[in-house]
Structure 1
Amino acid sequence: MRSNTTARTARRRTLRIAAAALTAAAGLSLTACSGSDITETKPAAHADTGKAAAESSGAGSATGEQGADAQPGPGAKDGAKAGASGKQSGGAQAAAGGGAGSSVERCHTSGLKAAFATGGDAVPDPDADGATSTSIVLTNKGGSTCKIGGFPGVDLKTENGGGVWSLQRSSAKSHGAITLKPGDSTDFTINLALTKEEEGFWQPAFAVVTPPNETTSLTLDWPWGALVDQRGATRPATFVNPIG
């Protein structure tokens, strides 16, 4: 009986030890699996983070490509504002520069003096039979530089002021603006059809000159003889040419 009991006890111990060993092995196996899962999870998490960072970095490029459809971040807004400010500043400087370059005003009537040129070849030929001219000189009598160009207005008036002949312009092109410093002069010519006939003539007493783009005039005494009366003509032989 004892030997049988001893034998059974020995077998039970062996079974318990074997079971314990199997349990321990199973526990170690589970621990290893569990540990393996954790280890693999962490790299996976890091990989996702890296991917998200890459996508985030790529989002900036996408925003740049999308332009106005994208919603830029605060930094992008600040950058855009800075860029816009820079452009506006540059534009303002350019405008200021342009303003400085074009600050010379046009010549006003009050700053000009007019006179017929009476020296040398400037005097019209009374025997030219309508193919002659006279010149009117405009001088900057002011204290600042000014610009003048284009066609002046010229009205010829009789002694009593009862008649006015507004001269037509020639077909010549304007020479552009001329800069006159204080004391500088320029001129324009008037083609004349002088006549000595006792009929069909017009005798001016005054020449009223209105500078370009002005509304006030300068009045000069007419120093020459009578003109062929062509006030109603389509292409009269007496007409005004541009300044310069």
Structure 2
Amino acid sequence: MRTKRMAVTAVAVVAGLSLSACGGDDGTTNTDNVSKSSSTPAGEQTESAPADQQENDSTGTGSQEEAPEQGTSGQDSAAGAKPERCHTDDLTLTASDATIGDDPTKVVAVKLLNKSDRECSIKGFAGVNLLTSEGAIPATRRDQKDDGTTLKSGEPTYFGIFYKANESGGSGVKIKGLVVTPPDEKKSVTLKWPGEASLPVTDSPEPTVEIGPMGSVGQGAG
């Protein structure tokens, strides 16, 4: 009988332990709940906004890794880029008569010398106005193209002003001066007029004064 009582007691103890493991209020159940509670946020982090944020952070890291390549490319591009354009204050402008012989089309060559300590680029047409007894006469651009020029420090370029001289015997339109604005600039320079004293008075629709782009004449100005 004593042996049977011990066996019954052992069975009761085992049954009690089984009930505790299945959902009692002791420490074992709380530990299991804490374990479940701590594992749930970890699963949410993988699927929710924090996970997306991590993915974005990863993408950002990739961008940072690519940044040196972009920087290198930018430096290479800068190294091969054209210099900044020539500003009016970078240039010394002079004008001289460049007419060849008795050519009916008279020419004044305007020289633009890079006086700065850097290279600069210049392209296109200058703004040109002849100051006359009849007011300012703007020059008309010739149908010529210009691929642009890079001027080293101390290097010049030239453009031409083309006009018809007054051969009527009358006073014509007296020329008092010349105003030149380098391409893409707003600051102008006023020069003495080195050519013929006057332009003919005419009702012709043809332009009285024309200009070429940078490099349209050679070193006729000296």
TM-score by length of 2: 0.63
* Structure that is richer in strand per residue: 2
Deviation, 1:164, is 0.4
d(CA) in 2 for partners of 1:196, 1:233: 15
Match of 2:118 in 1: 144
d(CA) in 1 for partners of 2:201, 2:160: 19
Q: 1:156 to 1:91 in 2, by over 3 A?
A: same
Q: 1:171 to 1:234 in 2, by over 3 A?
A: farther
Match of 1:178 in 2: 149
Match of 2:37 in 1: none
Match of 2:103 in 1: 128
Q: 1:205 to 1:178 in 2, by over 3 A?
A: same
Please tell me the residue identity of whatever aligns with 1:169: R
- The alignment yields a C-alpha RMSD, in angstroms, of 2.8
Deviation, 1:143, is 1.8
User: Is residue 2:138 matched to residue 1:166?
Assistant: yes
Match of 2:169 in 1: 198
Secondary structure, aligned partner of 1:243: coil
RCO greater where, 1 or 2, for CA within 8 Å and sep 6 or more? Answer: 2
d(CA) in 2 for partners of 1:114, 1:77: 57
Deviation, 1:128, is 3.0
> For 1:24-77, what per-residue CA distance to the aligned partner results, in whole angstroms no more than 9, with x for missing partners?
xxxxxxxxxxxxxxxxxxxxxxxxxxxxxxxxxxxxxxxxxxxxxxx99x7x87
Contiguous gaps of at least 5 residues in structure 2: 1-50, 216-222
Q: 1:124 to 1:166 in 2, by over 3 A?
A: farther
- Whether the 8 Å CA contact 1:124–1:134 is kept in 2: the answer is no
Secondary structure, aligned partner of 1:205: strand
TM-score by length of 1: 0.58
Q: 1:169 to 1:233 in 2, by over 3 A?
A: farther
d(CA) in 2 for partners of 1:229, 1:100: 53
Contiguous gaps of at least 5 residues in structure 1: 1-70
* Structure that is richer in helix per residue: 1
> For 1:3-31, what per-residue CA distance to the aligned partner results, in whole angstroms no more than 9, with x for missing partners?
xxxxxxxxxxxxxxxxxxxxxxxxxxxxx
> For 1:83-119, what per-residue CA distance to the aligned partner results, in whole angstroms no more than 9, with x for missing partners?
333333322321233234336211111121111244x
